[in-house]
Amino acid sequence: MQDALTTRVANNATKAMRSTFYPSIPVGLWVRYRRQLPVAFLLLSDILLALVMWLAAVVFQDALGRGPLSDVAAASIVPNVVAWVGLRAALGLYPGYGLDQVEELRRQTFALLAALPIITVFAFASQAGDALSRLLIFAWFLVLLLLAPVSRYFIKRVLLKTGLWGKPVVVVGAQQAGAHVLELLQREWQLGYKPVGVFDNRVAPAGGMLKGVPYGGTLTDALALAQKHRLDTVIFAMPHMRRNRLAKFVNLANRSFRHVVVMPDLDGIVNSTVVARDLAGTFGVEIKHNLLDPWAQRLKRVLDVGATTVGGIFVLPLILVLSLLVWIESRGPIFYRDLRIGRDGKLFSCVKFRTMVPDAEALLQRMLAEDAETREEYLTYHKLRDDPRLTRVGHFLRKTSLDELPQLWNVLRGEMSLVGPRPYLPRESGDIGATQKEILRVTPGITGPWQVAGRNHASFSERVHMDACYVHDWSVWLDLVLLASTVHCLLFSRNAY
């Protein structure tokens, strides 16, 4: 029986290490090179992107009448690209397995910021400072800052489709914590961790499978599998195990696995706010609350005003067109104002495009009183999927989330932020629960984690939980990732209502 379980996990590991497009390649040969192929593709794509951006910057400089580059300046481009790529490699971005989107963006930005002074110093040291104008360097820096994360995302998507992205990992822990880890790894493909087997010294999941991942036996079986298939990462999902027993397991795992990840018993604490500390030889963790830092709040406000001012210029024509469509359909008010709970519990008037008939609130109350099914749906989601109150233009605006564009005015007034918790209705105050005090410590946002991750399929309680996690976990990088994800949802998702 145990041999059969181990064989099933081994076959799963072999499948994970095969190529999707080239299944005929021998596994031994494929395993030997597939670890280097993602690195090679990411490295090559970054080099090509940097060279193309340099070329574009040079053409831009020439178009401004500053003339072509000298031979000395042209020769200095290659070392500059090498410096940038080298810094990315030093920060573990090739291939970057185990990095979430927020941490990956932070490292990419730091690599580029560190490369800028190196490029400047090298330019003057090689006497190319006059030819490499500040405008040229700034243009290259700015374009890479915007395009490098986008390029990396699409390259990883291509690698995923060809079976090259990700490496096989095993999970130790077949109970609830293990199931949560497996579900997380399967959902967050960008982490690059492919769970091929779950192990546990005490508990075997029903049916020999946990979240679609086969059970492979005990930790001893996991060690044997690692040696046979060259697996280098194990994740311990046993948060409630006694410390001495867990330490024994981890020490055993260190003999076969290069990377040992331990999921601690820190329920309710968001991972990226936790920093490991060595307190005179004793391990500790520091839990930071970034948004309580006044300077962080000021930075967030500066980003809000800057991005809203620049972005507002581009979306103003769209706002005018949508305003005309709303007015043509029903000849009523273009904008809808409703009281929402803002920071510190202060009420403010939230502006949206009007998407409903004028007597929408009265109609809602009649529907809730007359239809039990509608009442249950509204109590769960605080929304209705097939809402008869919506106008035709309003349905389109809701579907595309364009009805929230006027809230840019609330952002400029300081009542809202581009990214933040949902602006809750006053009548929802009692439903928010114990986390209300935490959520209301920050400014609500036009977009946020629930709009990106849950959209309208998440229940009200799940949205509240997401908002609370956002407040705990805030960073500039998280806001940037959520903004980029929002753009992706607007362009490719039509799940809003």
Are 417 and 443 a contacting pair, CB within 8 Å?
yes
**What tokens does 243 get?**
């410390």
* DSSP single-letter state for residue 165: S
Strand order in the sheet with 193-199: 193-199, 167-172, 233-236, 259-262
* Predicted structure pTM score: 0.79
Handedness of CA 263, 265, 266, 268 (dihedral sign): positive
Give pLDDT tens digits for 299-350.
889 999 999 998 888 889 999 999 999 888 877 788 988 899 998 889 999 9
What SS3 state is found at 236?
strand
Rounded Cα gap, residues 411 and 446, in angstroms: 8
pLDDT of residue 19: 44
Q: Give 58-91 pLDDT, tens digit per residue.
A: 777 667 666 565 555 556 677 788 888 999 999 9
Beta carbons of 260 and 254 less than 8 angstroms apart:
yes
Please report where in the chains the tokens 């998702």 appear, as a residue: 493
Give 302's Cβ-side CA count (13 Å radius). Answer: 7
Q: Cα–Cα distance between 346 and 341 in angstroms, integer?
A: 6
Q: Give 64's strand partners.
A: none
| CA-CA-CA-CA torsion sign (188, 478, 411, 291) | positive
Q: Which domains does the chain have, with CATH numbers?
A: 37-161 (no CATH), 165-265 (3.40.50.720), 294-355+390-492 (no CATH)
Q: What is the pLDDT along the chain (497 residues), one digit of tens a residue?
A: 445 555 555 555 555 555 444 444 444 545 556 678 899 999 999 999 988 887 877 777 667 666 565 555 556 677 788 888 999 999 999 999 999 888 999 999 999 888 888 777 766 665 555 555 666 777 778 888 889 999 999 999 999 998 889 989 999 988 888 888 999 899 889 999 999 889 988 878 877 888 888 888 888 888 888 888 888 899 998 888 888 888 888 888 888 889 998 887 665 555 566 777 777 777 777 777 777 778 888 888 999 999 999 888 888 999 999 999 988 887 778 898 889 999 888 999 999 998 877 666 666 777 777 777 777 766 666 666 667 777 888 888 887 888 889 999 999 999 999 999 988 888 888 778 777 888 888 899 998 887 777 555 667 777 888 888 888 888 888 898 898 888 877 776 655 54
449 upstream amide cis, omega within 30 of 0: no
Euclidean distance between the first and the last CA atom of the chain, given in angstroms as a whole number: 51
What's residue 381's pLDDT? 64
SS3 labels along 94-106: CCCCCCCHHHHHH
Between CA 446 and CA 480 the distance in angstroms is 13
| DSSP 8-state secondary structure symbol assigned to residue 341 | E
